[in-house]
């Protein structure tokens, strides 16, 4: 990605953050003014999105920094922390909305439909402008932000439809019903993504990475007779790291080792590894991790 394009996306994320945060504050007051739980539910959703946008903006800037003495792998892993903060805000806020909505399903309260329409139109305009600004972005952060905002856009379209119905029909239960639908949808997606985030924190093997296939490819190379201590984890769900020990036969020369290293480089690239560390061992060496002789296992 070019330097100018990177800063263009950074500016788009920054604009989307301030639009979303400003509208979230307005939304909370609007939800109280219109007595609409659907608007409050979307406000909680937008608050979580504001954290996500803010962390995306901050981390996009931080990603320009290379590894240093404090974080030798770089700062990419901080994006996972941002995801946890966002998810926590959304879960707590969603549970609060559900506790408010369930009693209203039993004893509905009439929301102020004209006010709901006003906020729905503003919500569609704000989120639509932000989505348009991020349209065509190639960065992962910017693409994820665009999807978040598109969800908000669809949510506001639903609020607009409900508020128009309430103008002509006295069906106050539609408001808490819609708030429950929005909240449950958000909770479902948050908990699903939180499971993936937890896996990253616990250094689980990234989804779609087959360690057995990688080891099998390594063992199929000339002069390679075994592998062990192969580990794969992800820094942020996108950039993966691999370490392994490759055992070669005693006849392997320096040229053979260089050839093996070249093949391993191509193999790591094909499996989407951003960083790999491979230790070459001979069969009569003692593995520095296990303390046992390398016998090709």
CB of 15 within 8 A of CB of 133? Answer: yes
pLDDT at 50: 76
Spatial neighbors of 60 by CB under 8 A, at least 6 apart, are 9, 10, 13, 139, 141, 142
The matching CATH number, chosen from 3.30.70.1350, 3.40.190.10, 3.30.565.10, 3.30.465.10, for 211-282 is 3.30.70.1350
How far is residue 232's CA from residue 234's CA, in Å, rounded to a whole number?
Answer: 7
pLDDT tens, position by position, 192-242: 777 777 888 888 888 888 999 999 999 999 999 989 999 998 887 778 899
**CATH homologous superfamily for the domain 3-201:** Cation efflux protein transmembrane domain (1.20.1510.10)
Please say whether the dihedral angle defined by the alpha carbons of residues 159, 163, 165 and 169, taken in this order, is positive or negative. Answer: positive
Per residue of the chain (297 residues), give pLDDT as tens. Answer: 444 444 445 666 677 777 778 878 887 888 888 888 777 777 777 777 677 677 766 766 676 677 677 777 776 777 677 667 767 777 777 787 788 778 878 887 778 888 888 888 988 888 787 777 766 654 444 555 666 676 677 778 878 888 898 888 888 888 788 778 877 887 887 777 777 778 888 888 888 889 999 999 999 999 999 899 999 988 877 788 999 999 999 888 999 999 999 999 999 999 889 889 999 999 888 887 777 777 655
**pTM for this entry:** 0.63
The domain segmentation of the chain, as residue ranges, is 3-201, 211-282
- Nearest alpha carbon to residue 241 among 50, 47, 72: 72
Cβ contact 106:177 at 8 Å: no
pLDDT of residue 185: 80
- pLDDT in the model for residue 36: 80
């Amino acid at each position: 990605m070019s330097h100018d394009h990177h800063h263009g996306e950074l500016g788009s994320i920054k604009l989307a953050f301030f639009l979303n945060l400003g509208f979230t504050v307005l939304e909370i007051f609007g939800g109280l003014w219109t007595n609409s739980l659907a608007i409050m539910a979307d406000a909680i959703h937008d608050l979580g999105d504001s954290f996500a946008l803010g962390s995306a903006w901050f981390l996009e800037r931080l990603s320009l920094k290379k590894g240093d003495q404090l974080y030798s792998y770089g700062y990419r892993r901080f994006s996972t922390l941002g995801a946890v903060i966002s998810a926590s805000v959304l879960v707590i806020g969603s549970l609060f909305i559900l506790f408010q909505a369930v009693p209203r399903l039993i004893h509905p309260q009439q929301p102020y439909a004209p006010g709901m329409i006003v906020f729905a139109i503003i919500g569609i305009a704000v989120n639509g402008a932000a989505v348009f600004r991020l349209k065509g972005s190639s960065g992962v952060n910017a693409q994820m932000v665009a999807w978040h905002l598109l969800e908000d856009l669809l949510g506001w379209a639903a609020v607009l439809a409900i508020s128009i119905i309430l103008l002509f029909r006295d069906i106050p239960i539609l408001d808490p019903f819609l708030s429950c639908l929005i909240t449950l949808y958000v909770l479902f997606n948050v908990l699903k993504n939180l499971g993936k985030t937890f896996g990253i924190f616990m250094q689980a093997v990234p989804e779609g990475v087959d360690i057995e296939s990688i080891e099998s490819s390594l063992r199929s190379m000339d002069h390679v007779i075994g592998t062990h201590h192969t580990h794969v984890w992800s820094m942020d769900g996108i950039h993966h790291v691999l370490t392994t020990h490759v055992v070669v036969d005693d006849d392997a020369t320096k040229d053979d080792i260089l050839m093996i290293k070249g093949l391993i480089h191509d193999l790591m690239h094909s499996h989407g590894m951003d960083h790999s560390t491979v230790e070459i061992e001979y069969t009569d060496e003692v593995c520095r991790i296990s303390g046992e002789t390398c016998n090709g296992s």
